[in-house]
Every structure is written in C-alpha cells, then in structure tokens.
Structure 1
Amino acid sequence: MLHINKAAELMGVTVRTLRYYDKFGLIQPASKTEGGHRLYAVDELKRLQQVQFLKKGGFSLKEIKRILDSPDWNWRESLEKQLASVLEEQQKLADMESALRELINSISLEGNNEDRAIQNLLQLSAQHQEIRQQFRKNVFTENEMTLLEKIPNLANNSADTQEWISLIDQLKRCMHEGVHSPHVQMIIHKMDEKRMNMFKEEEEFINKLWNIRMSPEQSQKIGMYPIDLTVLEFIKDAYAVYEASHQTDGERG
C-alpha cells in the first residue's frame, strides 16, 4: 500500500485533493496507519484514474461518483450524452467568438465608431435567419448562392475580410482628395484586383450584388453589413474614373 503522499505523487494530484475525495466519498483509502494517515492500494489508484479520465470529459464529481458507484451504469449512453453537451458548448463558444469578431471588425470598418457599429449590428441581428435565407434564394441563382459565400464576412478573421476592411478604411481617409486622386485610384485598383480574384468573370453576379449594396434596405435583408451611402457613391464614381482610364489606355495600346 502507498502512503497518501506517495499516492498523490504517483498519480499527479495533490494530497489535499485525495483528502477531499475521501470526505466526498469518491475515493476512500484502503486503510489508515496507526497515526491516521491514509493508505491506498491498487483498486483505489485505478478508481482515481477513472475519476481523472471522467473529469477530463467534463463530468462533475457528483456525476462521477454516481457513475462509479453504479455497477450497471450505461457508460456508452452517459459518454454520448456528455459528448453532445460538449459539442453544444463548443457551438455556443463558436457563436460567441463570431459575435465578438463581427463587432471588432465592424468597429474597424466604422473608424472606431463603436456606437454606429453596434447600431448596425443590432439592425442586422433583428432579422430572422430564415427570412434572410429566403430573400437570398429569391434574388440569386443556385450558382450565385455559392458565390455569395465568398463575400467577406465580418464574423470571421480571414485575410480577405481584413484586407477589405483595410481598403475601405484607407478609402474613407482619402475621400477628401477626390475621385481622381492617384491615392484613391490606387485603392480602387486594389479593390478591382480583389474582385477579379474572387469572382473572375461573374459580372452579372457582381452587378446584382452592387445594386443590392446600394440599397440599405436590401443590404439588410440579405445580411450585408451596411456601408454609408456617401462612401458607396464615392466608390462608384471613383471606379467610373478608373474604368474610363483603363479604356483609354487600351485604345492607346
């Protein structure tokens, strides 16, 4: 038999933990020394291993005691229920992570205007997912629905999302320079490159998406984060300049 100190050292727990397990009725020592020190045999150490395993699985000590004290306990059913609980908790954490990322990215998109970002997100969250999905199906073809998944999502932290946020932020900062500004045109060029890389020759889809983006009501229905119409109009005018410039260059070539 092992003295409580040796048992604790061997099993990687504290003496205090073993004492608590004894008082809780979870793992009682095989016997005690004349001085009252707890002694543990092989059976108690095996039970401690089972406790440690079940604790890693997220079971409470009360649940573990009930499991180990019931010879006819259905281990498979119990483990499957615990797994379902863990997966549910994981989903909750994933949803929380998405919500936090969405808020952080929205604040960045709004130039650190927290109030506006929160207000916009509240408007988006007020719409039911089923209604949003139905609106998308009514507007887009099956192929376009697949393309829609490529649109940067503020709820994730992808490189594409971060790059679009950065480009829009840069554009906002230099709008005072006007649509003909070389700086503005450089940003529009980067935006156009991103668009081509993401959607290639899907011009019909891009035009449809842009028309929706220009309507705050339709943007909300489809679940797109609202961008100030002043910014969108500026992008539209700047892109017209960019496009005209490229057509002129093409004619010269």
Structure 2
Amino acid sequence: MISIKEVTKQTGVTVRTMRYYDQIGLLHPAGKTEGGHRLYGEKEMKKLQEIQFLKTIGFSLQEISEMIADENHDWFTGLKKQLGYVSKEKERLAQIEGTLRGLINEIMLNGNIDLFSVQKLIQLYQQNMDKREGYLNQIFNEEESKLLQNLPNINRDDPETLEWIALIAQLKKHMSKGISAPEIQRLIKRMYEKEQETFGDNKEFVEKIWDIRKSPQKSESAGFYPIDAETLDFFEKAYEFYVNKKSNF
C-alpha cells in the first residue's frame, strides 16, 4: 500500500484530484491509515492508469466511470463513437484555425479589422460551399479547376498567400504615388512574376480570374475575398502600365 502523496509523486495526479475521484465513486482507496489518510494498492494504481488514459483520448469522467464499472462494456462501439466525436471536433478546430488566420491576414492586408464584416464572410463561405463549387465548375474546365487550388486564400498562412497579402498591402499603402511610381512598379513586377510562376502562360485562366475579381457579385459567388473597387482599378491600370512598358523594351 502507498499513501496518496506517494501516488501523486509517482503519477502526477494531484491529491485534490484523487480525493475528487473518491468523492464521486470513480476510484476509492484500498483503505486508510489510523490517521485517516488514504492508501492505494496495485489494483487501484492500475485503475488510475486506465482512468488517466481514457481521459487523454477525450472521454468524460462519467463515461469512464460507466466503462470501467461494466465488465461487458462494448469497447468497440464506444471507441468508434469517440473517434467520430474527435473527428468532428478536429473539423471544428480546423474551421476556427482558418478563421483566426483570416483575421490575422485581414489586419495585415488592411491595417485594421471589421469583425462584423468578417463574420458575414465566414458564414457566407460555410453556408454556400456547394453552390460556390457549382459556380466555379461552370466557368473553369478540369485543368483550370486544378489551378484554382494555387490561388491565395485569406484563411491560410502558406508562404504564397502571405506574400500576396504583403504585396497587396504595400500596393494600397503607396497608391497615392500613382501607377508609374517606382515603388508601385516594383510591386507590380513581383506580382507579374508570381502570376507567371504559379499559372505559367495560361492567359485564358488569368482573364477568367480577373473577370470574377472585378465583379463584387461574381467574387461573392466564387467565394473570393472581397477587394475594394478602388484598389482593383488602380492595380489594373498599374499592371497595364507595366506590361506596356515591358513590351517596349
């Protein structure tokens, strides 16, 4: 027999937790000393290990109590049910992760954040996924649909997306200098290079993307992150300036 303090020392389970397990009938001590201190034997230590293990894979104390009390417990069904719960929780956490990344990227892009607008965007994105995919399938062929996976996504933090966000943020910052400003043209040059790196010489695909991007309605249907008309108009003019200047060399 070992004391409750020795149990804590060996397992890391606190004295308070051990007392609580005793109180709710989950794990009673094997006995007590004359002074009333709880004592635990090999059987109780094994049961404690089972409890801690089941806790780590997500079972509640109530579920654990029922599982270890029933010698004929259906472990297969119980574990399958728990796996289903964990999978759903994983999906929920992935959505939260994407939302947090989106909020952070929103600040990087615009310097501030409108929680109400972002909430509306998230709800729209989640509720109309099938509709959005159907819309995109009408516009893009099978090969082009594969290229869509390479578009930046406000809810991701991959290097490509982060660079696009940084480029657009810098473009917005220097817009007052005009389309021919060196700072603007350096940004446009990098955007042009990224377009070529990502999509090659697939002009038809890029034109389809741009046609959607310029229309708030089409952008919403496609699930694209909204960019204000002023920034899009400025980008288009600065891009044309860059291409024309490039072709003259």
Range class of TM-score, shorter chain:
over 0.9
Q: Which residue of 2 aligns with 1:100?
A: 100
Q: Which residue of 2 aligns with 1:32?
A: 32
Q: Deviations over 1:186-243 (max 9, x none)?
A: 1110100111111112111011111111111111111111112221121111111111
Gaps of 5+ in 2: none
1:234-245 counterparts in 2 under 5 A?
A: 234-245=234-245
**2:99–2:122 Cα contact (<8 Å) kept:** no
Q: Which residue of 1 aligns with 2:117?
A: 119
Change (3 A) 1:34 1:188: same
Distance in 1 between residues matched to 2:28 and 2:62, nearest whole Å: 15
Change (3 A) 1:162 1:46: same
Task: Give the residue type in structure 2 aligned to 1:6.
Answer: E
Gaps of 5+ in 1: none
Task: Give the residue type in structure 1 aligned to 2:147.
Answer: L
Distance in 1 between residues matched to 2:122 and 2:24, nearest whole Å: 50
Change (3 A) 1:132 1:34: same
* Cα RMSD, aligned residues only: 1.8
**1:103–1:121 Cα contact (<8 Å) kept:** no
Q: Which residue of 1 aligns with 2:48?
A: 48
Question: Helix, strand or coil: the match of 2:227?
Answer: coil
Change (3 A) 1:69 1:101: same
Q: Deviations over 1:20-76 (max 9, x none)?
A: 212211111222223322221111111111011111111111111111110000112
| Structure 1 residue 111, shift from structure 2 partner | 3.4
Q: Deviations over 1:124-167 (max 9, x none)?
A: 74361111111001111011111011100001111111111111
Task: Give the residue type in structure 2 aligned to 1:106.
Answer: E
Distance in 1 between residues matched to 2:122 and 2:207, nearest whole Å: 23
| Structure 1 residue 120, shift from structure 2 partner | 6.2
Give the 4+ runs in structure 1 shifted more than 4 A: none
Quick one: percent identity of the two aligned structures?
A: 43
1:167-206 counterparts in 2 under 5 A?
A: 167-206=167-206
Distance in 2 between residues matched to 1:124 and 1:54, nearest whole Å: 35
With 148-157 and 159-168 compared, the bigger mean Cα shift is at 159-168
| Structure 1 residue 98, shift from structure 2 partner | 0.9
TM normalised by structure 1 equals 0.91
1:1-253 counterparts in 2 under 5 A?
A: 1-112=1-112, 114-115=113-114, 118-119=116-117, 122=120, 125-126=123-124, 128-249=128-249
Distance in 1 between residues matched to 2:4 and 2:172, nearest whole Å: 68
Change (3 A) 1:172 1:72: same
Question: Helix, strand or coil: the match of 1:91?
Answer: helix
Question: Helix, strand or coil: the match of 1:39?
Answer: strand
